Structure 1
């Protein structure tokens, strides 16, 4: 990540603030070595627990934003450490902020997937909002309920971030990216989602265990309540598991309708894959799309586990309890 930031073009006033939030894998030393003598970088280590009512990410982002604002920053960009950037990524985000006159531009990275578990689950992130939310309409709306955002790459204007209360207003949220976007819309600032497929990519999780823990910490909060989660799970079963089952075991017109339903789901996956990655899906991605019923089943399982953790107060992330 630091090498990517040092290679950025078109951002002559760039300053980078990095907080090592209690890592145990020598991240701080690696960051110091990577930044070398580049005076644009400020790297800090925080070994204190987040204040009461705060999660670790929000506390770190708030601390960094305070420093950046004090230094006179007019654009604040928050990027997760596992995101990889092309050399014009930051300049493109700043240009998008100016051209759209938005308070927030959220850049959607191309999501990488290597393991079988990742290939089943990760494509559902982009597919879910592409199939349920017309992004062109969302980007023109101020309705908080239609906001779409990705916390991996968020770019704010100084004015919008301050007026909406920044990360302090979402200090305890497990879906802070969506909630901070909704706060901006309540303050009458536009929020815009743009594709980063040509210059931003991310591999969120590198194992099945990481994937399960990652989704377990927040997925049950994405649908408003346990009841909402149950409704979403039931709809997923009805829309994406029943049709292929009917296509396999049904008869006559029911079987044909089941096949049409399955084909529609696969087609939507193919379309979202091409949109997210900017190229025609290869054989591996086509296979992922054909296995969409298994993806839906994996989603339901992850959602059920997240609900269990929520009710059992057992959710943890990187060693810290989340509730």
Structure 2
């Protein structure tokens, strides 16, 4: 065997080992991740749902309908902040609310102060309107809820004694671009982090959070200063979980599908802009992104290439690595949804090398936009 052949085999073997480790981790999470489930009884403590909404006229009414149908919470209030919308969000919300006096709609037309992102400023304003409550639940307007979802989430908060419970919603996808990219969100933690262990530790680096659905103990939230503690962070969900852990307060991740689901983006341009706004901040900056991207390319490109182009032992190693990557994707999807992966999930898993290519492209685009100070989200500069 030539030196080049030995180097190629070593590289493919390393990449396949990384993929195999991801499959083992994903299997452990499929078995061990706790799932949000309906519970008996009624939650009697005050619960306030807080919804930041900017140009959400087409999505917000469906969430309001879901909230009006919630069961198992006797003292539920909902505060919605129309954050400078220009698409009729306020009128759509009022029509959906009707005469339900549990809902309060507020309007904000002031741009965020320097050092704040639009999302963190909106969440801080919402929390100020909910002073004195026991449980604060932040929801994005694109989340959809089953009737017992909120009661189950509050029960989980109190059962675990956590300061924050993050119920991870099932991520929906329709377009080819969504199928390529969206499953990577759940896969990114399901194939890399033993969640059962992460939920028991207070190590900030082992935090997982999804800002679409966050359930806080109100006292713990306010003790760290609320969203003011992460005012300028574009990934405020993960940042606030880390602040809580640094303060010695536990945070917990649970899988919320099928009680909660969301379709984050509806077009390729929405998806591109959405990921571009924050991927630059992942992994600590450019050096971390480069390291993670290099490992991802080695683990998820070289094995399928070896399976296609190699021979003998090299091809067998490549097939094992590619098979492990596909397996990790399917297991992660099953963990997220609580069901067997469907045909679309299987096709997306088989296209995992293309998903990694899409991620690397978006990451590079995000870093370029950040260096050029050209990042924007919903019409606001970041």
8 Å contact from structure 1 (residues 266, 292) kept in 2:
yes
Larger radius of gyration: 2
Equivalent-residue separation in structure 1 for 2:280 and 2:239 (angstroms): 15
Correspondence for 2:201 among 141, 146, 152: 141
Equivalent-residue separation in structure 2 for 1:287 and 1:166 (angstroms): 41
Q: Helix, strand or coil: the match of 1:15?
A: strand
8 Å contact from structure 1 (residues 184, 190) kept in 2:
yes
Alignment pair present for 1:80 and 2:140? yes
Alpha-carbon deviation of 1:280? 1.1
Q: Helix, strand or coil: the match of 1:310?
A: helix
Correspondence for 1:42 among 85, 89, 104: 104
Q: How does 1:1-323 map to 2 (within 5 A)?
A: 1-69=63-131, 72-322=132-382
User: Which deviations, in whole Å up to 9, do the C-alpha atoms of 1:112-156 show, x marking residues without a partner?
Assistant: 000000000000100110011100001000111111111100011
Equivalent-residue separation in structure 1 for 2:309 and 2:375 (angstroms): 39
Q: Helix, strand or coil: the match of 1:39?
A: coil
Equivalent-residue separation in structure 2 for 1:52 and 1:280 (angstroms): 46
Q: How many residues align?
A: 320
8 Å contact from structure 1 (residues 163, 187) kept in 2:
no
8 Å contact from structure 1 (residues 103, 161) kept in 2:
yes
Alpha-carbon deviation of 1:198? 2.3
Q: Helix, strand or coil: the match of 2:348?
A: helix
For the aligned residues, what is the CA RMSD? 0.8
Alpha-carbon deviation of 1:209? 0.3
TM-score by length of 1: 0.98
Give the equivalent residue in structure 1 for 2:58.
none
Say which structure, 1 or 2, has more relative contact order (CA 8 Å, 6+ apart): 2
Equivalent-residue separation in structure 2 for 1:263 and 1:9 (angstroms): 43
Equivalent-residue separation in structure 2 for 1:225 and 1:273 (angstroms): 28
Moved over 6 A (4+): none
